[in-house]
DNA sequence: GGAGACCTACTCGGATATCGTGTGTCCGAGTATCATAGG
DNA sequence: CCTATGATACTCGGACACACGATATCCGAGTAGGTCTCC
């Protein structure tokens, strides 16, 4: 059970976009170059964020990506869901209703069987995870990052300004 | 990000083992047949549980698997960790320290850089997930399952008795 | 009749193929900019 | 000089390969029980 690597890339890119400022769009190539990532693949991840409404994109010269809203209105949950999909990690395949020993009354087609106790338990854990993800905004992450490296915003702003 | 399907199989098998009773060992083939699962592959998952100390195994005739301890001393966390490994889903690859814009002082080799704020935030979510997994014992799951299907224990016990 | 050794059948355990999803790459559609020509 | 038009370069967006891990399978090592033989 391994999370898509693009989640890390996307989160860093969102923070970088915020530090650069909403003034202008930044291309996927620039964002990728900053961390030496494959540009086309990062582009793919950013597309997913656009579909999810976290970023906006523009084609052509002076085009690129920019944040669709402020960091304090973007949660970790938004980014993870955009890239990993809405489904939870544990997928109940209802094997309890398969095989010779399955309960006769509650067939898969018959329906209205109460939720599998195992799926319910795993679902509670998943819910706790999502709750924590939704409780943390990218702005809170940015705040912690700046506390650890106060010079980061300036350094990043300057680097992107020079390259552009 | 999808969890190993074997987790579901293992959890159901543990519950079945508990309902059958600690009297005798059950082979992977029997456990698999009950849900029409590939026997050899289920065997592989059960092996992992043995390595983790959740089950014990015995070879030869009258061999098979049995619970290493009572259900109330086995948590969902035990099973998940046994099959998925101890690492968390989000792996920080430290891309913040890669590329031309990386902080000069805190190289990967230099070390003692404070934890990445993003990894920390994702880690908190992972911790909430694991905490919930560790808080739920298989016995509590069994209890809920029996409340939903009170006839399940008897039906299972009888099926395994007949086949054996 | 009893005990010991051998044989057999059965199970786990790990090494070996196959498949699917994530990872990475490429080319086309669309657009803002710039140069150019005409009024 | 100002405006309209076409060419151009640049960007995103989705279609196309590749790789690695999960899935599935198979065969060998080890063991308990049964059987046969010998005392």
Q: Which of residues 89-148 of B touch A (CB under 8 A)?
A: 89-93, 95-96, 98-101, 103, 106, 114, 117-118, 120-122, 124-129, 131-133, 136, 140-142, 144-145, 148
Output the pLDDT for position A109. Answer: 47
Residues counted in chain B: 164
Task: Kindly report, residue by residue over A16-74, the tens digit of the pLDDT.
Answer: 999 999 888 999 999 999 999 999 999 999 999 999 999 999 999 999 999 999 999 99
Residue B140 has pLDDT above 60, yes or no: yes
Reference B88, options B66, B64, B110, B121; nearest CA is: B121
Expressed as residue numbers, the domain containing A63 is 5-102+112-163
Distance A26 CA to C31 C1' (A): 16
Closest approach of B52 to chain A, Cα-based (Å): 18
The CATH number of whichever domain residue A42 belongs to comes to 1.10.10.10
The answer to whether residue A107 sits within a structural domain is no
Q: What is the pLDDT of residue B24?
A: 86
Measure CA to C1' and name the residue nearest D24. Answer: B41
Work out the minimum CA distance from A57 to partner chain B, whole angstroms.
24
B38 inside domain: yes
Is A38 a member of any domain?
Answer: yes
What are the CA-CA distances from residue A113 to residues A9, A89, B151 (Å)? 42, 22, 14
B35-to-A79, A93, A125, B12 alpha-carbon distances in Å: 37, 11, 25, 9
Residue B107 falls inside a structural domain: no
- CA–CA gap between residue A141 and residue B107 (Å, rounded): 21
Q: Which residue has the higher pLDDT, B97 or A108?
A: B97
Per-residue model confidence (pLDDT) at position B127: 98
d(CA B103, CA A123): 40
- E-only strand ranges, chain A: 55-58, 64-67
Question: Taking CB atoms and an 8 Å limit, are A118 and B90 in contact across chains?
Answer: no
Rounded to 10 degrees, what is the CA torsion of B72, B74, B75, B77? 170
Does residue B159 sit within a domain? yes
Q: Enter the pTM of the model.
A: 0.91
User: How much is the mean pLDDT over chain B?
Assistant: 92
**Neighboring chain B residues of A164 at a CB cutoff of 8 Å:** none
Considering CB atoms only, which of B3, B118, B145 is closest to A90?
A: B3
Number of domains in chain B: 1
> Residue B107: is its pLDDT beyond 70?
no
Tokens describing residue A104:
């006769």
């Amino acid at each position: 059970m391994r999370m898509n690597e693009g989640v890390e890339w996307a989160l860093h890119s969102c923070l970088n976009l915020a530090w650069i400022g909403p003034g202008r769009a930044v291309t996927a190539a620039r964002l990728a170059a900053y961390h030496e990532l494959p540009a086309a693949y990062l582009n793919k991840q950013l597309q997913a964020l656009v579909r999810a409404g976290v970023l906006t994109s523009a084609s052509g010269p002076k085009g690129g990506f920019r944040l669709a809203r402020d960091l304090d209105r973007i949660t970790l949950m938004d980014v993870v869901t955009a890239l990993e999909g809405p489904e939870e990690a544990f997928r109940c395949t209802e094997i309890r209703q398969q095989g010779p020993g399955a309960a006769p009354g509650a067939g898969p087609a018959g329906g209205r069987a109460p939720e599998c106790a195992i799926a319910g338990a795993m679902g509670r854990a998943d819910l706790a995870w999502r709750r924590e993800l939704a409780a943390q905004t990218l702005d809170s992450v940015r705040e912690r990052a700046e506390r650890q490296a106060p010079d980061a915003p300036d350094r990043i702003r300057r680097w992107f300004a020079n390259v552009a």
